[in-house]
Structure 1
Amino acid sequence: MTVALMWEARAAEGRGGELLAWVREQRLAAEPLRRETFRAPQDRVLVITWWDAPYAAEVPELPEPDAELVTRAVHRWRFEAVTDG
């Protein structure tokens, strides 16, 4: 089974570049199958990691950045892959 973790944060005013750099520096305790980083308007940063694991498995997640770097707590979601058919 594949589980995908989504991590999304909104940077404090004018600090989107810093948040993006911070995310890129973060290393996980284990290597996911895949990891992608995205950015969006309003200085938002999204990271999706894919894991070969059951839905409820404990897998490494990105931490919370320093409070001064973001406007709110990080949003996190977990999804499991489904097959069409």
Structure 2
Amino acid sequence: MVGKGDSILEAAMDCGINIEHACGGVCACSTCHIYVEGGGSSLSEATEAEEDRVEEAPGLQRNSRLSCQCIVEGNGPIVVRVPSWNRNAVKEDPH
């Protein structure tokens, strides 16, 4: 269950989905780049620091965010997609 105040990165890891995050989730790289496909209104607004950092990510789109900086603030469903160039770094842990 994803709770308010959790980042998308934390939520994914809690569900056994490992999204690459070379900096440890502190907005110092762009390896946890995702696309927010739906439910963006349930997430925190991007900070200036996140906007500056996400610009370094390949495949930048209008819905690009850093999963370590997307904080769940609402109750609605949220849909994210990992960019195809980064899918080899995403692994689901066996249950």
TM > 0.5: no
Greater helix share, structure number: 2
TM-score (norm 2): 0.28
| TM-score, normalising length: structure 1 | 0.29
Greater relative contact order (Cα 8 A, min sep 6): structure 1 or 2? Answer: 1
Higher strand share: 1
| Larger of the two Rg values belongs to structure | 1
